[in-house]
Structure 1
């Protein structure tokens, strides 16, 4: 798919997720190879899953060097910042790093929701379930891989509204682009803003999906 907006959101999502992977790897005190692996897995993991489902072999992440250089550039800039910023400034920045991480993660979530959904709409517009599923998998797949490699329970399964934000954005994008025949540019931007807004509102107000709880403490499944 050669749409300019698809390419913009693809690059934006790759950089945002690569940076979130770098931040998690640094917080886990990984070596430089570990930082690269976590950054790359976060940035292109969801896209690889998407392409495998569509039968695109090899996946687009391996057919061009663009993703590799985006990841390397992001990793180098982040690592240099960590290495050479003096300790006083770094400690001050770390107080706000969680907010920076959440913003990067939200931007990556919105960007890849758009790219995955648009690809499904472009290839198989008649299959709404496929388009929406591709949007969600592209958006959350890399984050799940990142958390598993970092030894964490994936956040998509236990906190905040994450996959639900992607799902909502994918549905809105599909309805606008396919059902209402809105222009690709407008539908893509609205879908992106909708996804990011839901994610950040959920984080700010600590919103979560309901959980299954036992009625009495002594009851077990």
Structure 2
């Protein structure tokens, strides 16, 4: 059951982050090649960083490029829709922003689960800090690379407690596994917690403290 759930979370995260990357590339007026690269980096970059930390060379995206292909297909579908509709009409600007938030949040939650589970599958079930960190870097890594490549401040540092829900979700996931001895409930609960926290942060405009100069 855990394996099938993990495949589902992998697919959700890849599609969601590919859409997020493609939309960002289109917003930054990139051509179709740039949109594809940004979508693939957003969808697969966090997993590549995770693999490097785990000492898994080359990263899985190069050994089994299935999810790279999925990201590219999604990117071209998004590009085609936007190209033939000449971008986003002004009256749908708010819907566009909400859609980007939804896909970004789904990707964060799904890849957080994926990162924790990969560490557990590598035999590090008892190293709770490592599991949480792997969930964190898998969840936010692709988004950071997307923002850097599109020349904007990474959302992880400024936007709606972007990273905090991932960290808390990872902590919940490993604690639930320690208590219950099963990953299934822990995966679903942690995934839902990230979604809820991100929605609450957006709705109530929660942000971490910052110095306003």
Q: In the alignment, what sits opposite 2:107?
A: 108
Shift of 1:95: 3.2
Normalised TM-score (structure 1): 0.90
SS in structure 2 at match of 1:131: helix
RMSD: 1.7
Structure-to-structure mapping, 1:1-221, within 5 angstroms: 3-85=3-85, 90-123=89-122, 124-177=124-177, 179-212=178-211
Indicate conservation of the 8 Å contact 1:120/1:132, yes or no: no
Count of residues in correspondence between the two structures: 211
Larger Rg: 1
Q: Secondary structure at the match of 1:165?
A: helix
Deviations 1:23-50 (CA, angstroms, capped at 9, x unpaired): 1000000011111111111111110000
What do the CA deviations read for 1:87-119 (whole angstroms, capped 9, x no partner)? 7x8444333100000000000000001000111
Structure 2 stretches lacking a partner, 5+ long: none
Residue 211 (structure 1) shift: 1.9
**Greater shift in the superposed pair: 6-15 or 116-125:** 116-125
Contact 1:14–1:43 under 8 Å retained in 2: yes
- Taking the aligned partners of 2:103 and 2:159, their CA distance within structure 1 comes to 17
- What's the offset of the Cα at 1:192? 0.3
